[in-house]
Amino acid sequence: MMKVDVVGRVFVALGLLVVLTGCWDNRPINSRDMVLAMGLAPDHHPGAFSTVFQAPTPSAVSAGSSGSSSGGSSKKDTFDVVGSGPDLSETFNEAQAQVSKDLYLGQMQLIVLSTRLQPMYFKRAFDGLGRIATLAKTPFVIASPTPLIKLLHHTSPQDRFPSLYFSTLFSCHTCQTDAFGVRLWQVLVRLATPGVDIFLPVATPLKDGYLVDSVALYRHFQYVTTLTPRQSMAFGILDAISHKGSIFLPHYNASLRAIAGSSALTTHLRHGQVDATFTIKLTSTLEGIGSVTETAAQIAGMSDRASATIAASCLNLLQVTQKDDVDPLGVGRTLSWQNPRAFDHFRHWHQEYPHVHMRVHVSVTINKMGDVK
């Protein structure tokens, strides 16, 4: 469970950092605005994009450090400054000119990327992020079709700050159906690695919080599509990041939950044709069944039916990625590891990926309720 006092812990940690280090570039903490979240979005000016820098207000810092909550206060917990320009340094300079304190990015926890951001500005922004010496490459990165100011000002019952909400969510494996959290360093590595594309969790504000049940797929720096929740579950299984998946088997009037397991990808080149095989081994828990009791034969039948159903869903998802020519599961990267000469043979992997022959083998082991493994 996520707790509101995470805010206090973060600001206490920041205070301890100042005490232990003595200084940040010889500047006291009260001369800095600590940016916790940053958003990248299109700009209405041609040849530019916008960057939103969100930092906590002094009253929010005081409340967090003292362990109190501002739930009943009318004061704002955060403030935003927005800069625009052709690259990240220009947007930062414009934003910095609007505030008296230094905008400090060393404690940033969240980067929100608009799905409408053009690829050239995506590239320029992330090139700039990779060169910021004070920025640890650990902030989580999410995508959003929602206007970024609306998303960053949205609150939830669990936390006042979106940055801390998502940091806590993605750090808690039991809080998510799929471990969709993606950090900045992982994005930078994928962008620099041939044969793999990036994916980002998609966040949508709801009345009582946020919804994060799908992923956005990118080809290099180009946003391509957002998977449906069902497709995203198949993606999680293929990438071995699913741990609370579920499936309903109408033939047995039965439900399986807590679907999780391993996924191994192997690649081969036969007569110029790339074959990719995903071997997936899953466990699940029988949550309910239409009959009063279940027999060994029923369990075996449900296991076969679930295996076939999940394999079909995963294969369908792979075919979607091939149709869109985007390789988020790193088939090309795996080929380059397992058969580098074969991968080097393909000058443009994205021209080859749609023609890869995909296979998916799934085996599901079903545990009955109350079984202890």
Buried-exposed string 36-55: b where 16+ CB fall within 10 A, e elsewhere: bbbbbbebeeeebbbbbbbb
Element (H, E) at 215: strand 209-219
User: How confident is the model at residue 27, as a pLDDT?
Assistant: 58
Structure-block tokens of residue 299: 């369990």
Collect all residues with Cβ–Cβ distance below 8 Å to 44 and sequence separation of at least 6: none
For the residues 72-81, what does the mean pLDDT come to? 72
3-state secondary structure of 128: helix
CATH of domain 232-368: 3.30.300.210
Would you place residue 61 in the very low, low, confident or very high pLDDT band (cuts 50, 70, 90)?
low
Measure the CA–CA gap between 76 and 57, rounded to whole angstroms. Answer: 7
Give the residue extent of every domain in the chain.
6-226, 232-368
User: How confident is the model at residue 24, as a pLDDT?
Assistant: 38
3-state secondary structure of 86: coil
User: How confident is the model at residue 345, as a pLDDT?
Assistant: 86
The tens digit of pLDDT for each residue in 180-236 reads 999 999 999 999 999 999 999 999 998 888 989 999 999 999 999 999 999 999 999
Residue 97 has a CB neighbour count (10 Å cut-off) of 9
Measure the CA–CA gap between 256 and 248, rounded to whole angstroms. Answer: 6
Report whether pLDDT(9) > 90. no
Going by C-alpha positions, the residue among 210, 278, 282 that lies closest to residue 244 is 282
Q: What stretches of 229-295 show up as alpha helix (H) in DSSP?
A: 229-238
User: How confident is the model at residue 12, as a pLDDT?
Assistant: 39
3-state secondary structure of 298: helix
3-state secondary structure of 50: strand
The tens digit of pLDDT for each residue in 264-313 reads 999 998 888 999 999 999 999 998 776 666 788 889 999 999 999 999 99
pTM of this structure:
0.86
Question: Which range among 10-24, 37-51, 167-181, 259-273 shows the weakest confidence by mean pLDDT?
Answer: 10-24
